[in-house]
Structure 1
Amino acid sequence: MRLPVLTFDIETLTDLKSGAHLHGLDLPEADLESALAKLRRQESGTDFQRLPLHEIVCISGLWLDENGLKLFSFSREQYSEAEILRRFFSIFDKRNPTLVSWNGSQFDLPVILFRAMYHGLSAVSLFDQGEIDTQKRYNNYQNRYHQRHVDVMDVMAMFNGRNFLKLDDAAHLLGFPGKRGDGAYRVPEYVREQQWQKLTSYCEGDVLNTWLIYLRFQLLKGQILPADHQHLIQSTIQYLYTQPQQAAFLSVWRETSKQTDFTQFDFPSSPN
C-alpha cells in the first residue's frame, strides 16, 4: 500500500441560487428547493440534482502516513465552500496521496471539479492528467483504471455498474457499522440548524466505512499481509477511542463486528 493514503467523502446541498439561474426561476428561497426538485423529477424521474448543482457543505478525510492516522473535516461551520475546496486542494499541493473514495469517480470528484470551476479555483495537483507532470499521464486521479485514485465501489464491482453496492450494504456485509440511520437525508437539517458536529460526524462515518472496506480490498489483492491488515484495524480502533465524536461509530462497530467470523475478534474486551 503506497503511503500516504487519503480516504475522503463530501456532503452537499442543492445550490438554490445556481438552480434558479439555470432554470430561470424567480421564486422566494423557501419555494426554490421544491420547485427544483419537481423540475428534476420531470427531467429524470429522480430528485437527485445534476452534479453542478450540488453545493459542498463538508469534506471529511482520514489521512494515513508514516506518522499514523488523522481524521479531519472542513465544513461550513468555519469555511465558505470556496475555502473548503482550497483547503482540500492544498493537501495535494504538499503530497500526492493515494486517494480512496466510495463512488468518488462518479460523484465526489466531478462535483468537486464543477464547484472549483464555479469559484474560479485551480487544482493542478488533483486534476493534472500529464500536461504538467508527465508521470500523471500514466497514473492520475481521474482515470478509472489507474491506482492514484481508488474508487472502492467501482473496483469491487469490477467496473460494471450492474454490480454496484451501496456503502451501507457493503459495510454491513463485511462486519462494519454502515451509515447508522438516515443521516444523508438530514444533511439539509444539520446545516439549517447549524448542527455542525452531527454533519461532520456523519461525513466522517462514511469515510471510516470506506477506509475499512478499502483495507479489506487491499488484503484481497495481497497489497497488505494479514498481519498488516490486523495491525491497521487495531490502529484504527485505538485511534477512534481518542475521537469522542466517533463514539457511536465505535459502539456500532463493536456490535456489527460480531456478525462475521472474520471480524468477530477485532475488538478486545476493553480499550487499551
Structure 2
Amino acid sequence: MRFPVLVFDIETLTDLKSGAHLYGLDLPEADLEQALTKLRRQEAGMDFQRLPLHEIACIAGLWIDENGAMKLFSFSQEHFSEAEILKKFLSIFDKRHPTLVSWNGSQFDLPVILYRAMYHGLSAPSLFDQGEIDTQKRYNNYQNRYHHRHVDLMDVMAMFNGRNFQKLDDIAHLLGYPGKRGESGYFVPEYVKNQQWLKLTSYCEGDVLNTWLIYLRWLLLKGQLLIEDHRLWIQATIHYLQGQPQQQDFLQVWRERSQQTEFTSLDFPATD
C-alpha cells in the first residue's frame, strides 16, 4: 500500500440554477427540477443528470497516513458553500499527493469535481496536472485509468470493461460488509432540503468506509497485503470506528453481515 491513502466519495443534487441557464428555462424553482428531469429523459432516456449539473452537497474521505493513523472527515453544505467544499478538498492535494481510492470515481466523482471547480473558477493543478507542470505526472497521474495514483475500484475490478461494472452496494454485501444499509443516493436532495446533515454525512462516510474495506480485500487479492496484514488493518479500522459515534450503526451492521461469509466472519471473533 502506497501511503498516504485517501478514500473519497461525493454526494450531489441537481444544480437548478445552472440547469435553468443551460436549457433557457424561465420557471419557478418549484417547477425547475421536474422540467429538468423531463428534459433529461427526453435526451438520454434516464433521470440521471448530466455531470456538470451535479452540485456537490458533501465530500467525505478517509485519510490513512504513513503511520497507519486514520481520520474520517466530511465537508458538507451544513457549514460550507459548494465552492468552499471544493477548495477544502482540493487543498489536500496541494500539501500531499495521496493514493486516491474511489468507487466509480473516474466516471463520476472526479469529472463532477472538475466541472464544478471550473464553474467556480478554481485551480487544482495538483489533482488535474497530466505532466504539463510536473513531468513525473505524465507517467502517473490521477486521470489515467491505467495508473495507480487513483485507484477506481469499480473500474479495476471490472478489468476496465464496462460490461463488468458492479454496484458498490452489491460488492459490499457479497463480501460481508454493511453496504448502504437500506439508504440510497436518491435521498440526498431531501437530506439537504430538510437540513438532515447528520444523515447526509453518515451516508457519504458509509460509502467511503465500504470502499476502504473493499480496497483492503483487493490488495489482499493482488498480493499487496499479506493475510496477517489484512487482518491487522481490519482490526485497526474496527478500533477506529469504535471511537466514531456517527458510525456506530455502520459498525453494528458490519458485525451482523460479516457472519454471512466465512472469511469476513473472522473480522469479529466470537470472544469479541
TM-score (norm 1): 0.98
Deviations 1:198-241 (A, max 9, x none): 00000000000000001100111111111111111100011001
Q: Which residue of 2 aligns with 1:189?
A: 190
- State whether structure 2 residue 52 is matched by structure 1 residue 52: yes
Q: Which whole-Å CA distance do the structure 1 matches of 2:185 and 2:269 have between them?
A: 31
SS in structure 2 at match of 1:265 = helix
| One-letter amino acid of the structure 2 residue matched with residue 10 of structure 1 | I
5 Å-filtered alignment, 1:184-263, equals 184-263=185-264
How big is the shift at 1:268?
A: 3.6
Alignment of 1:1-272 (within 5 A): 1-67=1-67, 68-269=69-270
Partner AA of 1:54 in structure 2:
H
CA distance in 2, matches of 1:24, 1:17: 10
Tell me, what secondary structure is at the counterpart of 1:132? Answer: coil
51-60 or 253-262, which moves further after superposition?
253-262
Please give the alpha-carbon distance, in whole angstroms, between the structure 2 residues aligned to 1:263 and 1:124. 40
Give 3-state SS (helix, strand or coil) of 2:130's partner.
Answer: coil
Distance 1:265 1:182 in 2: 26
State the distance in 1 between where 2:92 and 2:271 align: 35
Residue identity opposite 2:17 in structure 1: K
In the TM superposition, structure 1's runs of 4+ consecutive aligned residues that sit over 3 Å from their partners are: 268-271
Report the RMSD for the aligned CA atoms in angstroms. Answer: 0.9
Amino acid of the structure 1 residue aligned with 2:56: I
Q: Which amino acid aligns with 1:115?
A: R
**Matching residue's letter, 1:253:** W
Report Cα offsets for 1:92-118 as digits up to 9, x if no partner: 111000000000000000000000000
Shift of 1:269: 4.6
Q: Distance in 1 between matches of 2:114 and 2:13?
A: 16
Which secondary structure does the structure 1 equivalent of 2:110 belong to?
helix
Aligned partners of 2:188 and 2:169: how far apart in 1?
17
Gaps of 5+ in 1: none
Separation in structure 2 between the aligned mates of residue 120 and residue 224 of structure 1, nearest angstrom: 41
One-letter amino acid matched to 2:259 = K
Matched residue type, 1:190: Y
What is the rounded CA distance, in whole Å, between the counterparts of 2:182 and 2:123 in structure 1?
A: 36
Residue deviations 1:137-165, cap 9 Å, x none? Answer: 00000001000000000000000001000
User: C-alpha separation between the residues in 1 aligned to 2:39 and 2:247?
Assistant: 38
The residue type paired with residue 46 of structure 1 is: M
CA positional deviation for 1:182:
2.6
State the aligned residue count: 271
Q: What is the deviation of 1:270?
A: 6.8
**Cα offsets for 1:60-106 (capped at 9, x unmatched):** 00000134110000000000000100000111111000000000000
Residues in 2 aligned to 1:181 and 1:115: alpha-carbon distance in whole angstroms: 29
Amino acid at match of 2:254: W
Structure 1 Cα separation of the partners of residues 55 and 141 of structure 2: 25
TM-score, normalised on structure 2?
Answer: 0.98
Could you tell me the percent identity over the aligned residues? Answer: 79
> 2:195 is paired with a residue of what secondary structure?
coil
Q: Which string of whole-angstrom CA distances, capped at 9 and with x for unpartnered residues, describes residues 31-57 of structure 1?
A: 000000000001101000000000000
Deviation at 1:185, TM superposition (A): 1.3
